[in-house]
Structure 1
Amino acid sequence: MNTENDDPEFSHKVDLGGLPRSGKAFRLVADNVSLERIATRLNVISADAFSCDLHLRASRHEINITGKVTATLIRECVASLEPMEEVIDESFDVEFARSSPDNLRKENEDGEAVYEGEDIPPEIHEGEIFDIGEFAVQQLALAMNPFPRMPGAQSLAEVYGREDNVSPFAVLAEKFKKSDENQ
């Protein structure tokens, strides 16, 4: 969770102790101010829409969050550098441990640490307050295409690049080309 910034872009804090045993459903929708702040954080041209539907369930030992983030972002195409729309509709199912990883750890017959049902230990959440808004923005960041490219976009290298020397060694090959004089 975001521990560096005390004022997240899209905060919605939930008291885990006040949740029913079956959990609780939430629907979060970003307002214009939050959309601007999310766009700045994610380094996109703009965030035109962002919402999250999730179900939060907490026990003494774990927190389970399932749901979906949806967003419409305006991004910069990595090929043409032109603005383009990216629509995100991504489901998630995430678990947090509410105790230290050592309490969840068991050892196998070789003495190696093994976590129940996991190859790696779960992320740890401390305290009774969970910021589902901050969590939703993190899920959005994970769902974004790392290299957004418009369909059919030609890269600037394709448009303006040199085609004559395909290989970086092509220039050297020309220098050492055998001719009648240097045979």
Structure 2
Amino acid sequence: MTPEFSRLIDVRQVEGKHVSLAPTEAERAALAQRFGLVRIDSLTADLDLSTKDRASGFQVEASGTLKAKIVQPCAVSAEDLPVSIDEPLFFRFVPQATDYTPDEEIELTAEELDEIEYDGTHLDIGEAVAQSLALAIDPFLTGPDAEAARKAAGIGAPEDQGPFAALKGLNLGDDT
């Protein structure tokens, strides 16, 4: 399946390259649907690329910024909330590993957490940007009408719910 915002880049031709990415209106609509947003009004990524030639293939590093203007529903009232996103980006694309076995436990270092594997000579920088947008979205965003919607539905505030909520009303002070 091809991602909604696919931008393939040949790893052999990226050294010192600067790329600016912006999805089309149709791609923004498809991404909004994928991420449960009302809409994506704008999305841009500006990235500087560099390579390192390794025995296993080219390692590509991309760093820059992601900027977006989105509209997402309030997690409580479902009202439309405009959100601006301005995030730094860093990706390291590495050749797909072929020397591991299924169900093998793999330890990752902090440096490896931003690694994205690619196969062949092309990597998808657009999908990496789309995934970064997904990570920047607050899944529990609430708006100004959230408290009123909670009260109307008979739901208390989040801090008044859960397994320890009943303990709040108990007098656990020292009586001595």
Change (3 A) 1:101 1:94: farther
User: What residue is the counterpart of 1:92 in the other structure?
Assistant: 89
- Structure 2 length normalisation: TM-score? 0.71
Tell me, yes or no, if structure 1 residue 154 matches structure 2 residue 151.
no
CA RMSD of aligned residues (A): 3.1
Give deviations 1:84-127, integer Å, cap 9, x for gaps. Answer: 11111111222233263869xxxxxxxxx877774769443222
How many residues are paired up?
151
Percent of pairs with identical residues: 27
Q: Please state how far the C-alpha of 1:155 moved relative to its aligned partner.
A: 5.3
Give deviations 1:24-78, integer Å, cap 9, x for gaps. Answer: 1101122211111111111111111111111122222322111111111111101
* Unaligned segments of structure 1, at least 5 residues: 104-112, 169-183
Structure number with larger C-alpha Rg: 1
User: What residue is the counterpart of 1:140 in the other structure?
Assistant: 133
Q: Please state how far the C-alpha of 1:147 moved relative to its aligned partner.
A: 1.1
Instruction: Give distance in 2, aligned partners of 1:119 and 1:30.
Output: 28
* Unaligned segments of structure 2, at least 5 residues: 101-105, 163-176
Instruction: Give distance in 2, aligned partners of 1:95 and 1:24.
Output: 15
Q: Post-superposition, which runs of at least 4 consecutive aligned residues in structure 1 deviate over 6 A?
A: 113-117
Change (3 A) 1:47 1:119: closer
The answer to whether the Cα contact below 8 Å between 2:75 and 2:139 also exists between their aligned partners in 1 is no
User: What residue is the counterpart of 1:16 in the other structure?
Assistant: 11
SS at match of 1:59: strand
Tell me, yes or no, if structure 1 residue 67 matches structure 2 residue 64.
yes
Instruction: Give distance in 2, aligned partners of 1:94 and 1:102.
Output: 22
